[in-house]
Amino acid sequence: MIQFAVLGYGTVGSGVVEVFFRNRESLEKKAGVPLGLKYILDVREFPDSPYKDLFVKDFDTILNDASVGVVAEVIGGVEPALTFTKACLERGKSVVTSNKELVAQHGAELLAIARANNVNYLFEASVGGGIPIIRPLHSCLAANRIEEVIGILNGTTNFILTKMFREGMSFESALALAQRLGYAERDPAADVEGHDACRKICILASLAFGEHVYPHDVSAEGITKITSEDVAYAASCGCVIKLIGAARRGEGGKRMTAYVAPAFINRETQLGTIDDVFNGILVRGDATGDVVFYGKGAGKLPTASAVVSDMIACAKADGSSASMSWKPSQGGNVAPQGDHVTAMYLRCRAFETNALEEAVKIFGKVKALSRPDKPTNEAAFITPALTEREIDDVCGKLAAAGIDILGKIRVLADQ
């Protein structure tokens, strides 16, 4: 029998336990061996839980039990998750996790420790919740040279932006609704400031391009500055606004491009049609072309499903997966955000000059936008594709001409 242990009994941890016992019979058939869940680690008391006899408070109880072969780390955060994960791997126990922060910061290191001890470190649930993406990227698309990964990686922000578009809600009202429905935390900063999506794109970029990408190297901008005016201008040109995480392979020895930011996307494109709490991840390979993975990116049971699937994969594995890895790095492998080439939506206000005329003088050519009830001193337009450094320089010139920049959003034409 292969025994499992679960570290943490929060939303995901309780879901893991629920899915395991609900589907235990079918899981054992898939694994080909009897399975047991021996321990649940949590410092809290759960006297009314049907699994109350499984709870322990001392991690060493799990670490020192040789019968435990697979551990699910669903604590979250870096510590004590990092210490516990290292200890388990070094003791010859495979570890699976939903902990995107830990994988984004220490994935290369933990994968190396797993290989050195002939066990596995799997993290399907760390990106996309219940959407299969890590294993397909690693295995099913292995014949491809992955050129780009781009997607909607955060369901909370996608829900908020959808409400802003469909129902004309302000950002603040849509966020409050997301919190009431349980889609957003009381402190929503990780979602709305782009940190959650940043960790996810780092994991995907590391796996796709074979070298560790650190979150501190990736520019992350959230959705807190998006206004109803921006939404109206996007709609006027057939676009929606989505929070996008993207990573593109560097060519000719150049560093890769990676960022998280709001973007105008054509409503009819593959990512433009993804609404509400759903996520979509587009992988562009040199052989397959575009492949899109779609589904609920978070939630108790979808995420637990991915964790339990990794537990079964570890139970079936014969030693460590040598190919599930990427090289360590010292960082600095992502090009500066100023080098990124993009068209840009700008919303401006001027009191003593014509903002659109000034923009045409400086940019040469822009695509003017309109919206209902547009003030006479407001102008909105889409710039030609330039480096972000060049666009910032032009914005400085507009400011010097007495023009206020009220909104600034990237424009993606072909996603």
Q: How far apart are CA 11 and CA 337, in angstroms?
A: 36
Q: How many CB atoms lie within 10 A of CB 53?
A: 7
Q: How many CB atoms lie within 10 A of CB 55?
A: 18
Assigned token pair, 406: 């009220």
185 a known binding residue? Answer: yes
How far, in Å, are 124, 137, 335 from residue 145 at the CA level? Answer: 21, 11, 20
121 a known binding residue? Answer: no
126 a known binding residue? Answer: no
Residue 200 falls in the annotated catalytic set: yes
| Residues 342 and 388 sit within 8 Å (Cβ to Cβ) | yes
Given the structure tokens 């995480």, which residue do they identify? 245
> Which of these is catalytic: 57, 86, 93, 200?
200
Cα-flanking dihedrals φ and ψ of residue 8, to 5°? 105, 130
231 a known binding residue? Answer: no
294 a known binding residue? Answer: no
Q: How far apart are CA 254 and CA 46, in angstroms?
A: 53
Q: How far apart are CA 245 and CA 198, in angstroms?
A: 7
Angle between helices 81-90 and 100-116 (to 10 degrees): 20
408 a known binding residue? Answer: no
14 a known binding residue? Answer: yes
Kind of pairing between the strands at 341-350 and 403-412: antiparallel
7 a known binding residue? Answer: yes
| Residues 251 and 400 sit within 8 Å (Cβ to Cβ) | no
218 a known binding residue? Answer: no
13 a known binding residue? Answer: yes
Beta strands, E only, 193-340: 219-220, 239-248, 257-266, 278-285, 289-296
Binding residue ranges for L-homoserine: 185
Binding residue ranges for NADP(+): 7-14
Catalytic residues: 200
Binding residue ranges for NADPH: 100
Binding residue ranges: 7-14, 100, 185
